[in-house]
A = this chain, B = another copy of it.
Amino acid sequence: MSRPAKSPLDAFDHKILAILQRDNTTPQRTIGEAVGLSAPAVQRRIKRMTEDGVIRANVAVLDSAALGQSITIFVEVEVISETAKQIEQAKSQFAAAPEIQQCYYVTGEADFILVIVVPSMADYEALTRRLFFSNNNVKRFRTFVAMDRVKVGLSVPIER
């Protein structure tokens, strides 16, 4: 079947997205006033962009410390064999772990970069044993512990 044709985004869409990625509880009426459209027009654009996948999700951002998950850790993982099958397996293993908040497959001196959120260093230690030491394909990994989350978010720069 025909995939929904992604209509190009105009200046209205950009303004709407900029507002939504900062606060998606903003009433459509308020957004309309800010961008110069009526509430139904805003609503239609949001619906279209959601269907087109421009808006991927609507989520609450939680304070990890308040949930007892106060440590953020970066890990660079280097693998031994980079066959397609091995890489796919690593990806799905990393994606499945709830402690792994983000996982990227990268070029450079490492193969994967992970962002991990755990309650304590003991939990991290247990996780490394489970994910890295018991995995024959992991050659090496380097750990960076976050002392300060200077800036955290998923905001995409929007040109205007």
Contact = CB atoms under 8 A, between A and B. Distances in A.
Given A69-B157, A117-B157, A144-B106, A60 B24 contact: yes
A27 to B, nearest CB: 13
A133 interface: no
Interface in A4-61: 6, 9, 14, 17, 20-25, 52-61
A52 B65 CA distance: 12
Interface residues of A, number: 68
B151 A103 contact: yes
A110 interface: yes
Contacts of A52: 66
9 tightest Cβ-Cβ pairs between the two chains A and B:
A20-B60, A105-B148, A103-B150, A106-B144, A103-B151, A108-B144, A57-B61, A54-B66, A104-B146
